[in-house]
Amino acid sequence: MLRNLGLVLLSTLISLLMVEFAARLELIPLPDHVSTDAWWAERWQRERKGMNPRAIIELDADLGYVPAANLDLFEYQDARISTNAKHMRGRQEYALERSNSARIVAIGDSFTFGQCANDDETFPFALEQSLIDAEVLNLGVMGYGQDQAFLRLRRDGFPYRPDVVVFGFHSTDMRRNLLSFRGYGKPRLRFEDGRVEVENVPVPSPEEYSRWWPPRIWNFVEIFRASREDRKVVKRRINEVSLAIVHQMAIETREQGALFAVVHLPHPRSLGGEGEHGWKFMEKVCAEATAAGGICIEPVPRFREIASTPEEVNHHFACHFSPELYQALGEVIAEALVRARPDRFALRN
């Protein structure tokens, strides 16, 4: 009896070791995308580079990473990227002390940063050029979740005492809020009893994940478990966290004496013939923003004027937004701010 049990345990151990060995040799195919830490960790193990090139990011213990400082027209994805000494997009440096100019802080993901666009083609740049005597600080970061954008606003945006916070809302960012690892480690927010708690800080470096991550076979166990979760339950959790972030961001922006403006960064299907992709949930997002005294900005009507056919949609969404869409987005936001705060903003002729 004991001998048989020992043989069973030994064979099980050998089987597990063989599977682990196969995982480390990467003989087990990585399944289709499953939005979990384990899936991203396995992907990182295989690629060893993270989401964005290390040449254009710096690891950050609070946020996971930020754009590298003092980039000088770094060429990436057919665009040239510059950053200032404070890890903001563009070369312009900003003093903490306020001038008479209106000040706007833009936060969000790669669409706010301006991926695939030159420094003078991003929507924060277009927004600044559309307004008289205003400065726009671009704190967008490629690959960020909405939780990271919120935390960067707290740490790096509010000290500049903005008149307005513009938050670029893209639906693909919502799943990132549930992760603590996505190409690089990241913080994660937990909302409990009216409090916001930050988890996974200080954020471990990718190398630490490589060194301390459980056996690779465990990654696949977690991936399988997550793939079997009820999609409705997961979607509800994703939506709840995203709305909680918008709600808290709007409240804290108001407490800073600034206007909170959430802008919809539309999916291409919002412009085509497949329905109003993401609009239904955006109504809830807008409700959270306006309940705290903020405003909601919808650029889809303007985008449809530029991209009215499927061929035009494909062209203008080939890599994030085209320069034409970024320009239009900046103009739409400028017009909305003038309507909301005519005492502080005016359009440039």
Residue 13 lies in a domain: no
Residue 74 lies in a domain: yes
Question: What pLDDT score does 276 carry?
Answer: 52
- Distance from C-alpha of 102 to C-alpha of 107, rounded to nearest angstrom: 17
Residue 116 corresponds to which tokens in the numbers above?
């695939």
Containing 81, the helix (H) or strand (E) segment is: strand 79-81
Residue 57 lies in a domain: no
DSSP conformation letters of 134-202 = EEEEE---TT--HHHHHHHIIIIIGGG--SEEEEEE-GGGGGGGG-SEESEE--EEEEETTEEEEES-S
Instruction: State how far the alpha carbon of 79 is from the alpha carbons of 19, 117, 118, 120, 322, in Å.
Output: 43, 5, 5, 10, 11
Residue 6 lies in a domain: no
Question: What pLDDT score does 15 carry?
Answer: 67
Residue 274 lies in a domain: yes
Range of the domain at 115: 69-199+230-340
* pLDDT tens digits for range 295-313: 999 999 999 999 988 899 9
Residue 349 lies in a domain: no
Question: What pLDDT score does 16 carry?
Answer: 65
Question: What pLDDT score does 175 carry?
Answer: 94
Structurally, the chain folds into a number of domains equal to 1
* pLDDT tens digits for range 12-71: 677 667 767 777 767 788 888 888 988 888 888 888 767 778 889 999 999 999 999 999
Q: Which residues contact 239 (CB under 8 A, 6 or more apart)?
A: 174, 281, 284
Residue 181 lies in a domain: yes
The CATH number covering residue 257 comes to: 3.40.50.1110
Question: What pLDDT score does 118 carry?
Answer: 98
Residue 209 lies in a domain: no
- Distance from C-alpha of 113 to C-alpha of 94, rounded to nearest angstrom: 17
Q: What is the pTM of this model?
A: 0.92
Residue 299 corresponds to which tokens in the numbers above?
């650029």
Question: What pLDDT score does 272 carry?
Answer: 60
Could you read off the pLDDT tens digit of each residue along the chain, which spans 349 residues? 666 666 767 776 776 677 677 777 677 888 888 889 888 888 888 887 677 788 899 999 999 999 999 999 999 999 999 999 999 999 999 999 988 999 999 999 999 999 999 999 999 999 999 999 999 999 999 999 999 999 999 999 999 999 999 999 999 999 999 999 998 899 999 998 878 999 999 998 877 776 656 688 888 888 888 888 888 999 999 999 999 999 999 999 999 999 999 999 998 887 765 545 567 789 999 999 999 999 999 999 999 999 988 899 999 999 999 999 999 999 999 999 999 999 999 999 7
Question: What pLDDT score does 19 carry?
Answer: 67
Q: Rg of the chain's alpha carbons, rounded to an integer?
A: 22
- Beta carbons of 133 and 105 less than 8 angstroms apart: no
Determine the angle formed by the axes of helices 231-255 and 279-291, rounding to 10 degrees. 30
- Beta carbons of 162 and 134 less than 8 angstroms apart: no
